[in-house]
Chain A
Amino acid sequence: MIEVKDLNVTFANAGRAVHAVRGVSFGVADGESFGIVGESGSGKSTVLKAIAGLIPWTATTLAVAGQPAQRRRSKAERKLMQYVFQDPYGSLHPRQTVDDMLREPLLIHGAGGIDGKVAAALAEVGLLPQHRFRYPHQLSGGQRQRVAIARALILRPRILLLDEPTSALDVSVQAEILNLLSHLRTSLGLTSILVSHDLGVVAHLCRRIAIMQLGRLVETVDAGQLRCGDVKEAYTRQLLAASRGYSRTAS
């Protein structure tokens, strides 16, 4: 469904070039859930933005659904792939109601039956009809993230790109959103890429996981291998040890 070969992203920063992503290659099959983990600055979100066409990139191959991706995407290509961001407050318009925000993508794509689709999208993510005319500040963090997911899914994309969708939420709310995501993924047959710094979250939601460090893809493992610590690279082992909590002896 997604094929990435030798992806590079460079930013010019105060006259200096920052090579944020260095020669990353991976493939995601149709219906697969792929995860990317790494620390801040490892380039994991940048990979996702490049796939979505939000930033300039260079690659030997970057193909989505069998079609080579261009720098500028057509409406149909955009409809195929939708994005959920980390901060649900920052990604929702503060002066628009939930209804306005869910309506907008449908209007842009000229869809019919908008009223019914908005109502169905709300029900799908577990929101009630009374949430439809609220503003983001009248919703809790978990509800806001549900709105962001509803907006991403309302165009019925085949690919969902998730950039730290639960890291701004409490664990109890995170559990609800993760359950919702895994339920929607199976019922809609979505292909997804999830970026997170939390190994537990990635292992829970993804089958295959890429570990990134300083712009490079260090290794790709199965969720099972990650759980039992069957990994090759020292860096992955270090991440695993650190995610299991504090110990005086660990370096």
Chain B
Amino acid sequence: MSDTPLIEVDDLNVSFPGRGGVTRAVRNATFTLGRERLGIVGESGSGKSTTGRALLGLIPRPGIVTAKRMTFGAENLLNYRDADWQRLRGRRMSMVMQDPKYSLNPVMKVGHQIGETYRLHTRASASDARARAIAMLEAVQIRDPDLVYHFYPHQLSGGMGQRVMIAMMLVAEPDLLIADEPTSALDVTVQNEVLRILDDLVRDRGMGLIFISHNLTVVSSFCDRVLVMYGGKIVEECKASELHAAKHPYTRALIASAPSLDRIDTELTTVKRDPAWLA
């Protein structure tokens, strides 16, 4: 979809030392991202969120991130310090979390939260920030942006909250958005509206999107390319449209274990784990 990759990661490892030894959350992950929609799927604990967080420099101490190469455009992320991350995060790359209830400030009007993000990254005046926040609310298809501007997070439904989060993350026009289970807390019909907003942003603004999800149906129908993670390793990479023809036994088992409307199973397939997958 694009010639120069936005993100290049070679041999990324994330580990957490603990009392019982070192936990390797991400193992030897290598991938690139262009101006496209890249899906990362896997079960809980497979390292998909940790991979996203490593790209944003959000691995908490004592976690250790190592890689042969990790670049974002012309930036080498490997020798970044806190101040460098501060400059990059929010402005050029940002992340939408799963649950808007825990990610928004409960005692601050949502419009102010969006405006604050904007003013932090640009030298905009308060009135500019306000206009910009309302424009963003409109861009994520909130029907009455002037009214919603004055709402507190508890006055929003799940779908509206998630749209406010997306508006806040996109107000500084980043080149990369990492969406960590952005639709898992939403109803199916609302989910499609949120996906359409993300889809439009990738198409119109040429943004790169990493879409982390455990839902294979959503990922295969929404993304361009998919990485399948198991136990911290990327076990398979394929075109999203070809996910149903996946080769790796783990991916195949995952697809077969979900009950489908198109198939009648008397007994669902369960995943039989092979230690060789992590070798």
Contact = CB atoms under 8 A, between A and B. Distances in A.
Interface of A: 39-40, 141, 170-176, 178-179, 182, 197-201, 203-205, 226-227, 238-240, 242-248, 250
Contacts of B262: 227
The interface centre, meaning the residue of A170, A172, A198, A242 with most chain B CB atoms within 10 A of its CB, is A172
B158 interface: yes
B229 to A, nearest CB: 13
Interface of B: 43-44, 158, 187-192, 195-196, 199, 214, 216-218, 220-222, 253-254, 257-262, 264-265, 267-271
Nearest to A228: B261
Contact of A175 (B187, B191, B196, B257): B257
A251 to B, nearest CB: 9
B258 A246 contact: no
A203 B261 CA distance: 7
Given A171-B254, A175-B269, 14 more contacts: A39-B188, A39-B189, A39-B190, A172-B43, A172-B254, A175-B268, A178-B268, A200-B260, A204-B259, A226-B261, A242-B189, A244-B221, A244-B261, A246-B221
B165 to A, nearest CB: 18
A172 B257 contact: yes
A200 B258 contact: yes
A204 B268 contact: yes
Contacts of A170: 43-44, 214
Contacts of A248: 196, 199
B216 A250 contact: no
B256 to A, nearest CB: 8
B187 A40 contact: yes
B268 A242 contact: no
A240 B261 contact: yes
23 contacts: A40-B158, A171-B216, A171-B254, A172-B253, A172-B257, A173-B43, A175-B257, A175-B269, A175-B270, A179-B267, A179-B268, A200-B258, A200-B259, A200-B261, A201-B259, A203-B261, A204-B259, A242-B189, A243-B188, A243-B217, A244-B261, A248-B196, A250-B192
Contacts of B44: 141, 170
B187 A178 contact: no
B156 to A, nearest CB: 14
Given A201-B259, A246-B222, A172 B271 contact: yes
Contact of A179 (B187, B196, B270): B270
A243 B217 CA distance: 8
Contacts of A205: 259
Contacts of B254: 171-172
Nearest to A203: B261
A203 B259 contact: yes
B261 A171 contact: no
Contacts of A245: 217-218, 220-222
A146 to B, nearest CB: 14
Contacts of A204: 259, 265, 268
Contacts of A226: 261
Nearest to B45: A170
* Closest 4 pairs (CB-CB, A-B): A245-B221, A204-B259, A175-B257, A242-B188
Contacts of A197: 187-188
B103 to A, nearest CB: 19
Nearest to B200: A248
B214 to A, nearest CB: 6
Contact of B261 (A141, A199, A238, A246): A199
Nearest to A183: B267
A179 B266 CA distance: 9
Nearest to B258: A171
Among A174, A197, A199, A245, max chain B CB count under 10 A is at A245
Contacts of A199: 261
Contacts of A238: 189
